[in-house]
Amino acid sequence: MTKRANIFKAAGAAVYVIFVVLSFFFGYAPGKEIGQNFISFSLAMLKILPCAFILIGLFEVWVKRETIEKHLGSGSGITAYFWGILLAGTSVGGLYVAFPVAYSLYNKGAKLGMFFAYIASSAICRVPLTIFEASFMGIKFSIIRLVVSLPLVIVSSMLLGGYLEKKGYKITKKR
């Protein structure tokens, strides 16, 4: 990252903090609400992320690369997508937990299409979210949404993963 980009990031963060502080000082309601939402979101992340990262660390140590390669790797076939959707559906923490888990799966040998399928499935078919949705929208709506969206996730993940793998794309660590 360039020095200029770091300066812009620091300036943006400073403008945000000044805006929120001045909003509380002058009683500007939208700015106060933005600050309160930031604090609320930060506290929610602090409750979930440490436990999630501990579990991801244990996953890295306990689960063998061969197991992931066998069930989610390039030779696994279509059943890998169902395993990925099942794993994503039972996870908690939203997308800010799904991305590190997906990256860990990829590093252990999951194919690139599985990376995309896991992230997309984490966004649309987590069990607690689906139960919450069904209680408000109805079970029929939730079933129709899952029946329509899951095949689209599988097909788009397969196509995007296959295309990017043919192009030689790799997810690398940022230095």
pLDDT digits (tens, 9 = 90+) for 60-69: 899 999 999 8
Mean pLDDT, to the nearest integer, of 102-121? 92
Residue 110, CB half-sphere, CA atoms under 13 Å: how many?
Answer: 29
Q: Considering Cα of 155, then 102, then 77, then 172, what sign does the dihedral take? A: positive
Domain parsing of the chain, residue ranges: 1-48, 63-175
The one-letter amino acid code at 31 reads: G
The span from the CA of 32 to the CA of 36, in Å, is 6
> Model's pTM, two decimal places?
0.79
Counting residues of the chain whose pLDDT is more than 70, the rounded percentage is: 98
Instruction: Grade residue 5 by pLDDT with cuts at 50, 70 and 90.
Output: confident
Tell whether the model's pLDDT for residue 55 goes beyond 90: no
Mean pLDDT estimate for the chain: 90
Structure confidence at residue 175 as a pLDDT band (50, 70, 90)? low
Give just the sign of the alpha carbon dihedral 91, 96, 100, 103.
positive
Band of residue 1 on the pLDDT scale cut at 50, 70, 90: low
Express each pLDDT in 17-48 by its tens digit.
999 999 999 999 999 999 999 999 999 888 88
- Dihedral Cα 145, 146, 151, 152, nearest 10 deg: 50
Q: Which two tokens stand for residue 5?
A: 């980009």
Tell me the H-state helices in the chain: 3-26, 29-62, 65-72, 79-89, 95-107, 112-124, 127-137, 139-166
pLDDT digits over 76-99, tens only?
A: 888 899 999 999 988 877 788 888
pLDDT, one tens digit per residue, over 159-174 is 999 999 999 888 887 6
d(CA 54, CA 23): 37
State yes or no: pLDDT of 122 exceeds 70. yes
